Amino acid sequence: MGQSEHISSPATESHLGACHPSHQVLFEPVQIGPVVAPNRFYQVPHASGMTETNPRVRAAFRETKAEGGWGVVSTGAVSIHPSSDDSPLPFARLWNDADIASHALSTEAIHRHGSLAAVELWHGGAAVMNRTSRLPPLSPSGISWAATHVGFMGQLRPKKMTGADIDEVLHWQRLATRRALDAGFDILYVYAGMGYLGYEFLLPEYNHRDDGYGGSLENRVRFVREMLEVTRDEAGSRAAVALRISLEELRGKVSDHYESEAHGVVDLLSDVPDLWDVKMDSSPTDCGASRFRPEGAHEPIIDFVKRMTDRPVVGVGRFTSPDTMVSQIRRGVLDLIGGARASIADPFLPTKIREGNSDAIRECIGCNICIASWHDGVPVRCTQNATAGEEWRRGWHPEKFAKTASPESVLIVGGGPAGLEAALVAAKQGFEVTIAEQTDEWGGRVQAETQLPGLATWRRVRDYRVWALSQMGNVSMYTNSELDADAALSLGTDHIAIATGARWSKRLYSALEIPSEPLDLPQLFTPEDVFTGAVSGDRVLVFDYDNYYLGGVIAEHLATLGKQTHYATPAGHASAWTFMTNELPFVYQALSRSGVNLHTTTNLMRFDGTHAQLQNLFNAEPIELNVDAIVIVGHREPRDALYQSLISSAEGAAHPSISLVGDALAPGAIVHAVYSGHSFARGLVETETIYLRDEPVVPAKPLRVFPQ
């Protein structure tokens, strides 16, 4: 293992060139109330899975975006009071003075790079279950938020707020504002979106009040107005006040005086906030996955806002193309380009545009693994950016790499996401890299899967890495090169990484989740057969116990080819895990559009080539299907024969080092393969492979949370 010294990648140090003239508008400063954003790149509030329990992880994650050129960097939701308690999902707090110091770590880190720090002060209203604080959730009229997935369901219904409750929430917003100012934030939010408290006051379905806060649009807007006013009153000229608002439902509501109720709300509050942050109403529509929503999908809902206010407007749309961003500015849709996922996938996106190096942007693929990690309750993970969330814990920087002191060589076998990432990171660290791929295309599973419906954007995983490798002078790339152990060893490299992936198996499981031996029948197929077009038969059953996207996508694909298609799964939903990535509602729409017949909570019992027998998991009721082919999407087994053969050929010799990475090590989603490839390559020069454990910033003595 070589020693290390620090170098920077071309993106940060070589000053590749000047900003393209048409992109310069993106680098104009924007006045937001009393503060000035240094450019138009605005990292809008987004969940990170980071709270006061890992404040250094959080500060480093946000700092990297400021360093990468985002002019404003925001927190995720920061609860103003224990009655807004989203546990077990991770959420941040400004409940008492003890929380200030950990937020200050973030604001100091953001300010070090000349960016503004924004805080999304938040009250969840009826959409939280207060599982830790055990306080009743608050709502305008006692109407609960209806979760349709078990992961978000709760049994505690909200109380109807009295006038005194409203005064208290306003007071909590004031206290949180005071603490946010002490923590050093420059932009303070009032949140009226996504089903949370302010939003519930705006919508007549949630707000049945007959006092000054309900009824007419003017009355329904009153609570949000007062939240803005109390924030302004406390902040004075020390910070700007932003309103984050969801406009999708309101835009569909007719109004007596306005084009829609959304127009009415914006008109009534037009000059109250210093900044409008406009968005959609639910996570699946606001953070739409690329399978179902294109870049810029918010525009038809939010395009009118700028015409009704002279305050700057920020909005999102999974923007990664500078031309699209410029178009949003030039056409008067937005003043600031909001980025959440774009900033996770590439924190240095603004710098790359400024340096005329847009080709180097590591574009978000819209897979929503980042959102799934929040649903999982862990810090953000990203398919495209393996360093996201690891900036402090592992000391990984997305653009800077420790360089090997000894000029060693590395052979990577396999050109899927793990192999490509390993090759790129090894090359950036100064190794002489050879990468060999047996097929005539780079990308491995990505190459195969992205031929299927809706997955084309995911090709960016391959395209970015192949492009970046082609820019390096120390990389040799070979396709059509299947290596065996002798061939791999004959190259004489110092290190060999085996990234040969995994193959789908024909194994099934019993109703008690006990694995059985793989079936071996002529008309039984796996996803690989789908990729090569080998699935014969006109009536097909896709039996899916992988439960992520692929089974559903394959069913959609086969139906589109004109086959009568059934989809069955032991899970309660088709592609059940896509709930985690916001895709589930749209998966159902796609399957229904393509005429796929669904059978959930069923197990596959038998198949004789013309009939499949399914059985209901709970009542054992049999279901006979007249099908002549089955595709099993279930278990994957590492393709590690080459590794085993190398290990026995090398017979314990220290040289070369031989490693398994990606799916060949442990089959997973693409995010796991990229991380594994990255981690392997960093390990070539890092002496420490463990990660640091973060600790809360603890006050001298515990502070009372409430009553305040």
Min CB(643)–ligand ADP separation in Å:
10
User: Alpha helices, DSSP H only, in 432-484?
Assistant: 445-449, 460-470
- Quote the radius of gyration of the chain (alpha carbons, Å): 27
Q: How far is the CB of 417 from ligand SF4 (least distance, A)?
A: 12
- Residue 370 touches which of ligand ADP, ligand SF4, none (Cβ within 5-8 Å per kind): ligand SF4
* Min separation Cβ 581 and ligand SF4, Å: 8
Could you say which of ligand SF4, ligand ADP, none residue 501 binds, taking C-beta under 5 to 8 angstroms by partner kind? Answer: ligand ADP
Residues 465-494 that bind ligand ADP (CB under 6 A): 482-483
The residue (of 83 and 581) whose beta carbon lies closer to ligand SF4 is: 581
State the Cα–Cα distance between residues 556 and 629, nearest whole angstrom. 15
Total site size for ligand SF4, rule CB under 6 A: 13
Contact 126, 145 (CB under 8 A): yes
Q: DSSP alpha helices (H): ranges in 35-87?
A: 55-67
Determine the Cα–Cα distance for residues 138 and 84; give it in Å rounded to an integer: 8
Give the three-state DSSP class for 161. coil
**Closest separation between CB of residue 347 and ligand SF4, Å?**
11
Total residue length of the chain: 708
* Partner residues linked to 568 by β-bridges: 543, 599
Asked whether 97 and 699 are in contact (CB, 8 A), the reply is: yes
**What does 586-606 look like in DSSP terms, one character per residue?**
HHHHHHHHTTPEEE-SEEEEE
**Contact of residue 436 among ligand SF4, ligand ADP, none (CB under 5-8 Å per partner type):** ligand ADP
417 binds, among ligand SF4, ligand ADP, none (CB under 5 to 8 A by kind): ligand ADP
196 is catalytic: yes
Helices (H), 566-688: 584-593, 641-650, 670-682
Nearest distance from C-beta of residue 652 to ligand SF4, angstroms: 39
Quick one: CA dihedral 575, 580, 585, 587, positive or negative?
negative
Query: From CA 224, how far away is CA 123, in angstroms rounded?
Result: 12
Residues in the interface with ligand ADP (CB under 6 A) total 24
Nearer of residues 244 and 445 to ligand ADP, judged by Cβ: 445
* Cβ 579 vs Cβ 149: under 8 Å: yes
For residue 344, state whether it binds ligand SF4 (rule: CB under 6 A).
yes
Spot the catalytic one: 189, 191, 196, 213.
196
**Residue 568 contacts ligand ADP per CB under 6 A:** no
Sheet (strand 475-478) strand order: 475-478, 432-436, 409-413, 495-498, 657-660
To ligand ADP, the closest distance from the beta carbon of 493 in angstroms equals 14
The option from ligand SF4, ligand ADP, none interacting with 382 (CB < 5 to 8 A, set by class) reads ligand SF4
Please, what is the Cα angle at 237 between 236 and 243, to 5 degrees?
75
By a kind-dependent CB cut-off of 5 to 8 A, residue 263 interacts, out of ligand SF4, ligand ADP, none, with none
Which residues are registered as beta bridge partners of 338? 42
Nearer to ligand ADP by Cβ, of 590 and 673: the residue is: 673
- Under DSSP, the state recorded for 562 is T
- In angstroms, the Cα distances linking 669 to 143, 572, 581, 672, 675 are 39, 21, 13, 5, 10
Q: Please count the CA atoms within 13 angstroms of the CA of 227 that sit on its side-chain side.
A: 31
The contact mask relative to ligand ADP for 394-433 (x = CB under 6 A, - = no) is -------------------xxxxxxx--------------
For residue 501, state whether it binds ligand SF4 (rule: CB under 6 A). no
Least CB distance to ligand SF4 at residue 346 (A): 9
CB-wise, 197 or 365, nearer to ligand SF4?
365
546 binds ligand ADP (CB under 6 A): no
| Interaction between residue 46 and ligand SF4 (CB under 6 A) | no
Per-residue contact string for residues 374-403; x = within reach of ligand SF4 by CB under 6 A: --------xxx-------------------
Q: Pick the piece of the chain touching ligand ADP (CB under 6 A) from 135-143, 222-230, 497-505, 627-635.
A: 497-505
In angstroms, rounded to a whole number, what is the distance separating the alpha carbons of residues 370 and 390?
A: 13
Q: Considering the complex, state which of residue 351 and residue 373 has its C-beta at the smaller distance from ligand SF4.
A: 373
Within its chain, how far is the Cα of 216 from the centroid? 38
Cα dihedral: 503, 505, 511, 514 (round 10): -80
The contacts of residue 482 (CB under 8 Å, 6+ apart) are: 436, 438
Residue 367 binds to ligand SF4 (criterion: CB under 6 A): yes
Choosing from 662, 678, 680, 683, the residue that interacts with ligand ADP (CB under 6 A) is 662
Is residue 445 at the binding interface for ligand ADP, with CB under 6 A as the rule?
Answer: yes
Tokens of 702: 């515990």
Of the two residues 219 and 438, which places its CB atom closer to ligand ADP in the complex?
Answer: 438
By C-beta, is 251 or 635 nearer to ligand ADP?
A: 635
Question: How many angstroms separate the CA atoms of 270 and 262, rounded?
Answer: 12
Query: Which residue's CB is nearer to ligand ADP, number 566 or number 678?
Result: 678
Task: Please identify, using beta-carbon distances, which residue of 417 and 537 lies nearer to ligand ADP.
Answer: 417
- Candidates 217, 369, 591, 629: give the one binding ligand SF4 (CB under 6 A): 369
Tell me which amino acid residue 694 is: D
Please report, as a single letter, which amino acid is at residue 414.
G
Instruction: Evaluate the omega torsion of the peptide bond into residue 379 and state whether it is cis, within 30 degrees of 0.
Output: no
State yes or no: residue 679 binds ligand ADP (CB under 6 A). Answer: no
Which residues are tagged catalytic?
196
Residues within the interface to ligand SF4 (CB under 6 A): 341, 344-345, 364-370, 382-384
Residues within the interface to ligand ADP (CB under 6 A): 413-419, 436-439, 444-445, 482-483, 499-501, 639, 642, 662-664, 673
